[in-house]
Structure 1
């Protein structure tokens, strides 16, 4: 582990915990400008836009279990299960890759199987 890894860990943990408790201002404080987010469902170049649907998402989350975490000087990876109340989704295994610039998260890549999410999103999105 490098000397920077403890700071990387503290920042990623602060973001992860703030995000899953719905504390958008605390989550945004860990993010850099410029910022880029990418997932199978959406992309964003704005910290606020990236977190704009958080309340709706957390409305279906019943728990999160952190499985593994890996930290380096300028990157980190979390692997976790998101438990949802949506039967079509159930438990979503998720990997999240973070990249850092000057001690803040500048890029997040969220990786998961979005197959069930596409059906759910079509069901709740008006035509």
Structure 2
């Protein structure tokens, strides 16, 4: 493994662990100044927007089970199951990272969002009612 690949692995693992531990500050340190995030449900053009919903999401996460980790010099892909306390249950997820100078500049999250749509709609309705 090259030193660039090792740096990629260290950055992505540190980000992943910090995020699922709810440590927004430690996760943010791993993100580049120019950062983008895309998923089937949300997208963000900066780190603050991406991390803003983390606390709420973690309230329904009961565990994370890593399936596969692939690392290159400036990219990485993680495949894992997110266990939730929602009707979704277990969500199989793939996450692709692009890095520059050892920091994550983009994340693309890939999963089937079908079972999340009613949950998101109910949350939006509850928020607008309050």
- TM superposition score normalised by structure 2: 0.94
Matched with 2:108 is 109
Q: Tell me the C-alpha RMSD between the 2 structures.
A: 0.9
| Structure 1 residue 124: Cα displacement | 1.3
Structure 1 position 57 matched with structure 2 position 71: no
Structure 2 match to 1:37: 37
Map 1:1-127; keep pairs closer than 5 Å: 1-87=1-87, 89-126=88-125
List, as ranges, runs of 4+ consecutive aligned residues in structure 1 with deviation greater than 2 Å: none
**By how many angstroms is 1:48 displaced?**
1.1
Ranges in structure 2 where 5+ consecutive residues have no aligned partner: none
Identify, as 1 or 2, the structure richer in helix. Answer: 2
The DSSP-based 3-state class of the residue aligned with 2:3 is coil
Aligned length, in residue pairs = 126
- Give the CA deviation at 1:3: 2.8
Q: Deviation at 1:76?
A: 0.2
Per-residue CA deviations over 1:87-107 (Å, capped at 9, x if unaligned) read 2x0100000000011110000
